[in-house]
Structure 1
Amino acid sequence: MTGCSTGIGEYVAQALAQEGWQVFASARQMADVERLRAQGLNALWLDVDSTESITQAVEQVLTATQGRLYALFNNAGFGQPGAVEDLPRVALREQFETNLFGAIELTNQLLPAMRRNGTGRLLFNSSVLGFAAMPYRGAYNASKFAMEGMVDTLRLELRGTGIWPVLIEPGPITSRFRANAEARFHRHINAEASAHYDVYAAMQARLAKPGPASPFTLGPEAVQAVVRRALLAHKPAARYRVTTPTHLFAWAKRLLPTALLDWLLIAGAGEEARKLR
């Protein structure tokens, strides 16, 4: 499992370990690795932005399991806020390196072992924003839309191998997602020089606000429940949707005309999107 330092990753790793799974929980900061080890988890260092780190982690895990790894949960990721016109190329690169490129490289390095075993689960933590784009989240939207396309392709290419690629699509979940997004916003977005200056004031207030992101926010146990289903199912679903907004937008995208869907997406985007309504 990647991205186990906090939130969904940490909770799911602990829950699966308590159920008796042999879990390899990874994080990119050694301080987090040591903290996870202190909790009794089998933790290792893994930075999905680094090919060297991915290769090293794969070797460790396959050695420890004698090549019989059953599942991978690509959970590591973050959100880069900002209007598309304000996103520098370096911000887009960082977003895709972590959210997509690292996940695919790690998957590709583990696939030969799964092919030899004739079974496996490849879980990818996507998002409601992997199929329903919201304003001021363009980099994150794009990385998750791309993830969905890659995993759909993997599912077709791995048909009949016993290896099942699965998309987990959460909506708002209790985690440090907003705090991490706020840090990325300040790193890459020049709010003072932007045509979206007024919007950014509301965005920063939302990102800094303590407590749930929306009334529909669930705890990480909601993701754990579908991860467990995907691991145990004889034929797992292609997608597992988590939280009311994810189910709502999935149906809305099927049924509503584009203009009405756009209005709904803007309304769901938060206080900063008010002027777009």
Structure 2
Amino acid sequence: DQLQNGDANSIASAQASVAAAVAQRDLAQLQLDQLLAGASAAQIAAAESNVAQAQANLDALQRGPTDAQIVAAEVAIEQARVSVQRAEINLERATLTAPFAGTVTAVHVNEGEIASGTVIELVDTHNLEVILSVDEVDLADLSVGQPAAITLETWPDDELDGRITAIAPAATSDNSALVTYDVYLYLGETDLPVLVGMTANADITTRRSEDVLLLPNAAINVDRSAGTYSVHKVTRNGDQPISISETTITIGLRDGQYTQITSGLQAGDEVMVGDVLPVFTFGPGNGDPGNGGPFGGGQ
């Protein structure tokens, strides 16, 4: 429709130009005729020139545009189309579309200003995450997917579920001598009104074993030069005096209180804790001293 309207407008404009040229030629001819009736040679020559120019203009309009004029018009049309496309693109860019649903927390530009850098800060309050600063020494024990128990200082008695979703590939830059990395934790669903910027702490389970045999760390002797571990195993022989023997053991996971025993002892064995009796009964249970149960290394 726009092209048809454009063609109709062009035809009407051309017809108007031809009509104007005809009128101009006729006027020039009339003036020439009047001068021929009684005028000087100079006036007659000027009138003849006007008639010739008017006739030339009319002939040019009636012949139509030349090839060069057509090419120039086509170039002008293409340039106009490009200008329209650029204007449409700029109009689309003038509208900001959020990549996710959330709440605007800050606006850094005013109407009429040229935007540069961050324009709007948007927070997804339905998918919060906790960012931990972890010392490089502890980083080797962490990996994506490990579970975490998260507590917020606002509600220290409420433990929230979480898991590691990402570990920063580069260290955090600060003025301290410590080298730390940002570790990102997904915060599970909660009914607590958690807000962005709250302080959080997290216990990350680096490894986990269940239904294992545990022994207090105080009962284990360590030979660091040989890299071996042993305990003082107690043997009872009825009414006979008890006997104590040094028994080599193999350990698994350990924390600040207990160590997992993977070989060298069995459930029901008794060992000394320290250098004196009473002894410690080594057996299965729910994770209390001498009992087996869930055991996880924490950071």
The TM-score bracket by the shorter chain reads under 0.3
Answer 1 or 2: which has greater strand percent: 2
TM-score (ref. length: structure 2): 0.14
TM-score (ref. length: structure 1): 0.14
Answer 1 or 2: which has greater helix percent: 1
Larger radius of gyration: 2
